[in-house]
A and B are shown apart, each in its own frame.
Chain A
Amino acid sequence: DIQMTQSPSTLSASVGDRVTITCRASRSLGVWLAWYQQRPGKAPELLIYDASILEAGVPSRFSGSGSGTEFTLTISSLQPDDFATYYCQQYSDYSTFGQGTRVEIK
C-alpha cells in the first residue's frame, strides 16, 4: 500500500492569505496525484489532477506542484469559500487518500 501523509492537519488562516498544504507519499507516484476540496456535509470536489492540472471551472488561485513523493497545493489568496478540508489522492497504485487538512478561519 502507498501511504499518503498530509501536513498540517489543521491550518488557521485569514482571507487573503497564501496557503500551502503538503502531501508526501511513501513511494514515488510520478505525477499521479490529485487534490480535492470538501465542505461540511458535501461530497469532495476535484480541484487538481496529474499533480498540477487545474480541473475545469476551478478558480486559478488554486495551483498544484510536485512529483515523485512530495506535492503541494497552494491557494494564492484565500477566499471565504475556501475554508474547507482538502485531501490528496494517489492513483499510481490503486488509490489512497491523505488524511485531510482542515483550513479554518484564524
Chain B
Amino acid sequence: QVQLQESGPGLVKPSETLSLTCTVSDYSISSDYYWGWIRQTPGKGLEWIASTYRSEITFYNPSLKSRLSMSVDTSKNQFSLNLGPVTAADTAIYHCARRRMSGSVFDYWGPGILVTVSS
C-alpha cells in the first residue's frame, strides 16, 4: 500500500517561499508514475499545482508556473515543491499524490498539510 506524507512549515510570511516535501513509503518514486501536488481551499476547491516524472518531465499549472519549482530526491524517496513569492491567496491544504502515467488521475494521496500565509 503506497503511503504519502507531506511535511513543511504550517505558517509562511507573505512574499516568502513555501517549501513542502512529500515522503513516499512502500513504493519507489523511481517507478513508472508521476508524482504531484494539489491544493484545496474552501473558495477555489481543488487546484492541481504540478506533476513530475523523475524530474525528467515536469508539468506546471500555467497560472502558477512563474512561481513554481518541483524536485525529486530518489535517495530519500521524496519529492518537493517550492512556491514563491506567496500571498494570502496561497493559504490552502496542500496534498501530494501519485499520478498514473496513462491518464492523469491521482490514485494515492497524502492526508494534506495546512499552510497559512500570514505575517
Question: Is B46's CB under 8 angstroms from A97's CB?
Answer: yes
Residue in chain A with minimal CB distance to B104: A91
A75-106 interface with B by 8 A CB criterion: 87, 89, 91, 94-100
Given the complex, which residues of A lie within 8 Å of B106, measured CB to CB?
Answer: 36, 44, 46, 89
Question: Is A98's CB under 8 angstroms from B62's CB?
Answer: no
Interface 1/0 per residue, A24-49 and B, CB below 8 Å:
00000000101010000011111001
Interface centre among A32, A44, A96, A99 (most CB of B within 10 A): A44
Question: Is A94's CB under 8 angstroms from B48's CB?
Answer: yes
The total of Cβ contacts below 8 Å across the A-B interface reads 52
Complex partner residue of B112 from A32, A43, A95, CB under 8 angstroms: A43
Tell me the minimal C-beta distance from A26 to chain B in angstroms: 15
Chain A interface: which size bin? 20 to 34
Residue in chain A with minimal CB distance to B109: A43
If A97-B45, A99-B45 touch, does A43 touch B111 (CB 8 Å cutoff)?
yes
Given the complex, which residues of A lie within 8 Å of B47, measured CB to CB?
Answer: 96-97
Interface 1/0 per residue, B50-92 and A, CB below 8 Å:
0000000001011100000000000000000000000000000
Question: Is A49's CB under 8 angstroms from B111's CB?
Answer: no
- What residues of chain B have their CB less than 8 Å away from a CB belonging to chain A? 45-48, 59, 61-63, 95, 97, 100, 103-107, 109-112
